[in-house]
Amino acid sequence: MAMLLSYNVRNVVVRWRVSSLAVGGIALVVAVLIVLVAMSTGFRETLAATGSLDNAILTQRGSASELTSGLSLTEIAFLTVDPHVARRADGTPLASPEMVVVANMERRVDGKPTNVLVRGITPMAFEVRRDVRLVEGRWFEGGKTEIVVGKRIRERVAGLEPGSVISLQRRQWRVVGVFEAEGSGFESEIWGDADVMRPAFNRAQGYQSLTVRVRDPLAIEGWATDLEKSPFLRATAKNERQYYADQAGPLATLLLFLAGFVSTVMGVGAAFGAMNTMNGIIATRTREVGTLRALGFPRLRILFAFLAEATMLAFAGGVLGVLIALPFDGLESAVGNQFSELAFSFRVTADAIVTGLVVAVSMGVFGGLLPAWRASRIPITAALRDA
């Protein structure tokens, strides 16, 4: 068997032009698969990293997101003093009422319009969200039309350098700082003083959400159940980390479906291409097959030898596809919908690489099985005569 395998390896090298076609086709499939999975993984991880497991976010019951939510000032007041909410040493509730809207701005690269999430906050937001850190400039001052921007949105949107002035709702806002939030979705937002922003954005009657530090994260579900039964409060509660992870669900699932669909279509084509390549290779080696049979090699060994050759080509294609996809790891990109744009980084994980290699080998087995079986069934006399 070792001699047969060395024979196959030698033939792959000798017929490198034909072999490279099969390798290239499979490499393209694997690269596309890994890149699409990396995109889905990066998007999901960015939103999954948004928020804290120690926090709960309260939104209007039945709302799909913060943007479509609305809580009155009375509801905010009641929810802030709920027993589930943790307090500082001085007894102040660790609760951050927030206004959330979108603003239309221009992308830095092409000048095309994009929606950016604008969040109006109170000073308590910095105590509730401990992962937010200033990296340039200073924080905005209360009562002033000043804003700070996430570092990712600053890179993607024009006019967000510290010291610049932008127009939002026919008012001028000065950018005074840049913040980061451990790679979370908050880095794609603009933050300012809620007391200034709410009247400017016609949100003076309330807020969109309330984020609170809870005494016991395990009690959030029970709190949500109690709120569902309340005839006075229209709010529902969810763990903040879970809330943002759920927001990623539909699009991340769509991206994974797209990765599977595109890879399946391309994979079938590549497998048939590999099959055609193997058929061509075997057609030029009919005499060699006959010689092997005359030397006493059984049909099963010949089948496995040619199948191993196809699998070897496929694995080489898989490795090449991985090498093509690796530079995409860490690539900054963004996805947007009708509401806002979210920046994230592609994540090429070990699982994605293993999946790509498994798909490559599967294509090799599928594409090489029939040609290998045909090669093993060639009669000795016919093979030597045709040669």
Strands 189-193 vs 146-150: parallel, antiparallel or unpaired: antiparallel
Residues 16 and 131 in one domain: no
Are the C-beta atoms of residues 155 and 332 closer than 8 Å to each other?
Answer: yes
Residues 199 and 252 in one domain: no
Q: Total domain count for the chain?
A: 2
The predicted pLDDT at position 338 comes to 45
Domain membership of residue 320 (yes or no) is: yes
Residues 101 and 72 in one domain: yes
Are the C-beta atoms of residues 138 and 177 closer than 8 Å to each other?
Answer: yes
User: Which sign does the torsion angle of CA 350, 351, 354, 360 carry?
Assistant: negative
Residues 166 and 271 in one domain: no
Residues 261 and 187 in one domain: no
Residues 14 and 79 in one domain: no
Residues 279 and 348 in one domain: yes
Instruction: Find where tokens 């990623």 sit.
Output: 248
Residues 173 and 82 in one domain: yes
Q: Rounded to an integer, what distance in angstroms lies between the CA atom of residue 94 and that of residue 69?
A: 21
Residues 15 and 61 in one domain: no
Give SS3 for 173.
strand
| CA distances from residue 7 to 1, 22, 37, 307, 374 in whole angstroms, order as listed | 10, 19, 37, 13, 18
Domain membership of residue 285 (yes or no) is: yes
Domain membership of residue 240 (yes or no) is: no
Residues 199 and 268 in one domain: no
SS3 letters for 308-343?
HHHHHHHHHHHHHHHHHHHHHCCCEEEEECCCCEEE
Q: Rounded to an integer, what distance in angstroms lies between the CA atom of residue 275 and that of residue 368?
A: 5
Are the C-beta atoms of residues 339 and 115 closer than 8 Å to each other?
Answer: yes
Residues 65 and 204 in one domain: yes
Domain range spanning residue 109?
Answer: 55-213
| Weakly modelled stretches of the chain, pLDDT under 50 | 1, 3, 338, 387
Residues 184 and 100 in one domain: yes
Domain membership of residue 107 (yes or no) is: yes
Domain membership of residue 87 (yes or no) is: yes
